[in-house]
Structure 1
Amino acid sequence: MESTSKEFRKYAHQFVDWMADYMDNIENYPVKSQVVPKEIYNQIEDSIPNQGEDIETIFNDFVNIIMPGVTHWQSPNFYAYFPANTSPPSILAEMLTATLGIQGMKWETSPASTELEERMMEWIQKCIGIPNNWVGVIHDSASSATLASILTAREQKSTFRINETGFEKDTKFRVYCSEETHSSIEKGAKIAGIGRANVIKIPTDQTLRLRPEVLLQKIKEDIKNGYKPLCIVAAIGTTGTTAIDPLNEIADIAEKFKIWLHVDAAYAGSVLLLPEFHHYLNGIEKADSFVFNPHKWLFTNFDCSAYFVKDKNALVNTFEILPEYLKTKTDGSVNNHCDWGVPLGRRFRSLKLWFVMRNYGLVGLQKKLRNHIELARWFENEIAKLPEFELVVPRNINLICFRFKPQKFKDVEVLNRINESLMHDLNDSGKIYLTHTKVNDIYTLRLVIGQTNVSERHVENTLQLIIEKATKTFKKYNREVY
């Protein structure tokens, strides 16, 4: 049933009321969805309806079928994975973006999309300390940005031959990263034809940072054995523990051997808006590319990944392709962002970033980030006071890695099972949601404090819930083991 503008207006108002109510009442939902596999699937018809249905019926099914299967990433009690924040100005901008429905692949297909994106990248560049001779573009995710870096490194190293003729022979390229960095690096190497086996994982130190001396040794060995070092990925905030790789030392190695250096700050990069963290970028002028995701911890709806490169020409020459049907009279005099990454099609992502940065302002954004870090510091201090808990690694920024460690249990595997059971009990309660990693084979609970509206009250209640559930878990395992 096709909606008229009158019907659209009616339901749009209804939907906005529901959206506002959702934001007001999000704490009443179980944070992690409580459904079982196929529960949603089996409630949905197996074929498209022959006749159109009215919006009211569809919306009722959304509430009754879809909503129970939603994990509420915007809940202030969501501490899992990484923040994936929205905010009122971002949501409002997304509504406008959806209404406009533009395709911003080239300047001429919507000049506002291209030029607002250019300006937003300049705003961010100034805020976080990226060199002013670099250029920025918005990608959908850090995975796409990392792939773009690996592909650009590949083409630059082969003088853009591989794009034209393919891999005519075994080039034996190598990509280097720490053992703690994101799986997107391996995926990018696979897609780029480098091969997963040629991603060399460098051991880390006690704080889980990449060890530059081992990196240097491995590069020298590879060169001696006929390999071609292609790309190094340094992390400002690794996935598991938010470890900060020593960028300046890594950059010296990359510069010495003329290896492309990509800096992955996907989640933690937002903290660079705070001047007291700018030292994380020491050495960035010697790198080649950098990425962070405003859609993770800068209150901007997914997807919005800010990618910067030193050499614009290397990036464009890697991806540019100009069939007759895409030629326009402004080619060569404007930026056509379809030539700055893999996809041709591009969403108007910069609009929500503009709304967010203008509505909060730099001071407002900094205030929220500092508040999250302070809450994380409080949680870390409280955990450290509890004799039955242990900080597995020191806190980095707003992520706390800890475990329940009853003094009665010494065996690592038993403690791992206890902590896994504790995590599932916490998540099954619906009251909070957190995830885990493994640090030196220790099952480690990760608690990320970064949701848009998280407050001291939420963190205090979370700590009490963890203590209560841990007590029950201890009693259960005490009966089983002894």
Structure 2
Amino acid sequence: FLSTSGGGGVIQDSASSASLCAMIAARERATAGESNRRGVREDVVVYTSTEAHSSIRKAARIIGIGDENVRLIPVDDDFAMRPDALDRAVREDREAGRTPFFISATTGTTSSLAMDPLREIGALARADGLWMHVDAAMAGTAAVCPEFRWIHDGLEYADSYCFNPHKWMFTSFDCDAFYVSDRAALTRALGIMPEYLRTDVARSAGADANKQADSEAVTRAAVDFRDWQIPLGRRFRSLKLWFVLRHYGERGLRHHVREHVRLARRFSNRIEEEPGFVLLAPTSLNLVCFAHERGDDFTERLMAEVNRTGRLFVSHTRMNGRFAIRMCVGQTTTAERHADAAFDAFRETALRLTE
């Protein structure tokens, strides 16, 4: 992913845009550029888990793949993608004459922060020649701490990767860090060279104003980020990220991430010990998913009542069909007293609702 090699990174607005760009590059690699020239004329297939972010399906719609060519792979008891089910789906599509081309694995799913097994998925992708994208939008920041870098085990297999500093790295929206292992594959898919954009560097690289740019030659000569994204123009997103890195530094970022994980686990342990409450997913980092044993209607009412107090705000999801409350710890000023107050709010509200 280093720009000193064949890869590199660029700041996008969101993980949705990063995944879209990755999927376009993967499509063009799989079809040898024919999709850009003639449109999508074959069944090319995308794979991701049932727990993946909806932006993967949206990207497939935008670039002409369509919902019917997106395979939602089943997950295990911890809500992580099952490599055996992925392998079976890829083989079935090949046997049916379709072209598998893109796998999106997730490091920290939206609903529960589940971790897909990157090493197993990556080995399958490499063996079958599929592009592997890793979406670490929320959880990627945890890797600033050495003890949490297990979340990236197998990342060396990835063709592209993204995470959002605007989520857990305290940077204001919007800011996504998007990396590719082969930048020429990306610029080849997205690069167009009209005369009004042709520079001296492009001329020296042999770019023709009447044709699509020789992206590889131009990329070797200079990095032009307009060919790394959907829009032509770019905002100055790097400045706000630089300020965050400058202010907190390595030690500051690690301190906050570790504290958030500690507080989430403290909250999780108290939920697990409290009669009437149940955890619905493992607490991997800073997200706790739980419910009340009285069922979905009671859990939903409990969440609404707690949110109505204005003391905290939590969101929800569904896990194996059950309504789940999502408690996420991620602000720099959040302290132990806040986590304890959140637990007390749920416990006291549940007792009041059962009277």
TM over 0.5: yes
User: Which TM-score tier does this pair reach, normalised by the shorter chain?
Assistant: over 0.9
Within-5 A mapping of 1:134-283: 134-167=7-40, 169=41, 171-283=42-154
Which residue does the alignment assign to 1:460? 340
TM-score normalised by L of structure 1:
0.68
| SS of the residue 2:313 aligns to | coil
Which residue does the alignment assign to 2:211? none
Which residue does the alignment assign to 1:328? 199
Q: Give CA-to-partner distance per residue, 1:208-229, whole Å, 9 cap, x none.
A: 1100011101111110011110
Alpha-carbon shift at residue 366 of structure 1 (Å): 0.6
Q: Give CA-to-partner distance per residue, 1:109-133, whole Å, 9 cap, x none.
A: xxxxxxxxxxxx96xx9xxxxx965
Distance 2:31 2:125 in 1: 17
- Whether the aligned pair in 2 keeps the contact of 1:393 and 1:402 (CA below 8 Å) is yes
Distance 2:281 2:150 in 1: 21
- Whether the aligned pair in 2 keeps the contact of 1:434 and 1:445 (CA below 8 Å) is yes
Within-5 A mapping of 1:33-432: 134-167=7-40, 169=41, 171-331=42-202, 332=218, 333-405=221-293, 409=294, 415-432=295-312
Give the residue type in structure 2 aligned to 1:149.
A
Structure 2 stretches lacking a partner, 5+ long: 203-217
Distance 2:6 2:285 in 1: 28
Q: Give CA-to-partner distance per residue, 1:185-228, whole Å, 9 cap, x none.
A: 00000001000121101111110110001110111111001111
Higher strand share: 2
Which residue does the alignment assign to 2:209? none
- Count matched residues: 338
Distance 2:353 2:5 in 1: 54
Give the residue type in structure 2 aligned to 1:449.
V
Distance 2:302 2:13 in 1: 35
Distance 2:135 2:316 in 1: 21
Give the residue type in structure 2 aligned to 1:326.
L
Distance 1:179 1:403 in 2: 21
- Whether the aligned pair in 2 keeps the contact of 1:420 and 1:443 (CA below 8 Å) is yes
- 1:417–1:132 CA distance, 2 compared to 1 (3 A): farther
Which residue does the alignment assign to 1:65? none
Give the residue type in structure 1 aligned to 2:313.
Y
Alpha-carbon shift at residue 452 of structure 1 (Å): 2.2
| SS of the residue 2:84 aligns to | helix
Distance 2:198 2:167 in 1: 36
- Whether the aligned pair in 2 keeps the contact of 1:418 and 1:474 (CA below 8 Å) is no
Distance 1:204 1:132 in 2: 35
- Whether the aligned pair in 1 keeps the contact of 2:126 and 2:157 (CA below 8 Å) is yes
| SS of the residue 1:182 aligns to | coil
- Alignment counterpart, residue 437 of structure 1, candidates 317, 323, 327: 317
Structure 1 stretches lacking a partner, 5+ long: 1-120, 126-130, 410-414, 476-482
Q: Once superposed, which parts of structure 1, at least 4 consecutive aligned residues long, lie more than 4 Å away? A: none
Q: Give CA-to-partner distance per residue, 1:328-380, whole Å, 9 cap, x none.
A: 22443321101101111100011111111111111111111101011111111
Alpha-carbon shift at residue 296 of structure 1 (Å): 0.5
| SS of the residue 2:45 aligns to | strand
TM-score normalised by L of structure 2:
0.92
Give the residue type in structure 1 aligned to 2:174.
D
The yes-or-no answer on 1:472 pairing with 2:352 is yes
Distance 1:359 1:207 in 2: 36
Q: Give CA-to-partner distance per residue, 1:25-62, whole Å, 9 cap, x none.
A: xxxxxxxxxxxxxxxxxxxxxxxxxxxxxxxxxxxxxx
For the aligned residue pairs, the C-alpha RMSD in angstroms reads 1.5
Q: Using CA pairs under 8 Å that are at least 6 residues apart, name the structure with larger relative contact order, 1 or 2.
A: 1
Identity %: 43
